[in-house]
Amino acid sequence: MKILNYKLLLCVFTFLSLSQKGISQDKISKALKSWNKGTIPYVYFDHMPTTDSIAFLDTREKEEFEVSHLKNALWVGYKKFDEQVVLETITDKDQPIIVYCSIGVRSEDIGEQLKELGYTNILNLYGGIFDWKNKGGEVFNDQEIATDSVHAFSKHWGKLLHEGIKVY
């Protein structure tokens, strides 16, 4: 009887945690449909191109980037986006670029600005760093050391982050 109760409890826990992640994914999808215009195509964690020539651009605020970012990402900011930094760093306008933020809203805005600058190969990371971490992706702090901490932007948006340690 105890084994049956344990198995039932394990099944219920598994269902709830899987459905919670599914709900989170649905919330990310709804937010992106509501806030984004679809002007920058998405790239998905599960279908990431495998090439070393991709430039990852972090479009969050500096304090978010310092807590966690993708490996070798270039911080370009959002409110203080400095196009000159991008123009000087990425001189090949056809180089693959993946922009990201917390879930993919701010990064679309920066992606649009990159298009206006003449960049031709821009993708927006679907679900941003939250989806990346939720699916097991590695993130790094300002010392380029792997970390479990992720800047969650706010308590509201932090509900979409289920893996790692939320930092506000």
Distance between CA atoms of 103 and 31, rounded to whole angstroms?
9
Provide the H-helix boundaries in 36-168: 62-67, 83-89, 106-116, 128-134, 155-158
Q: How many CB atoms lie within 10 A of CB 115?
A: 13
Which DSSP category does 46 fall into?
G
How many CB atoms are located within 10 Å of the residue 157 CB?
A: 17
The CA distance from 150 to 141, in Å, is 9
Q: Does 11 participate in catalysis according to the annotation?
A: no
| Contact of 124 with 105, CB cutoff 8 Å | no
* Extended beta strands in the chain, E state: 42-43, 55-58, 74-75, 97-100, 122-125, 139-140, 146-147, 149-151, 165-167
Catalytic residue among 101, 114, 152, 161: 101
Residues classed as catalytic:
101
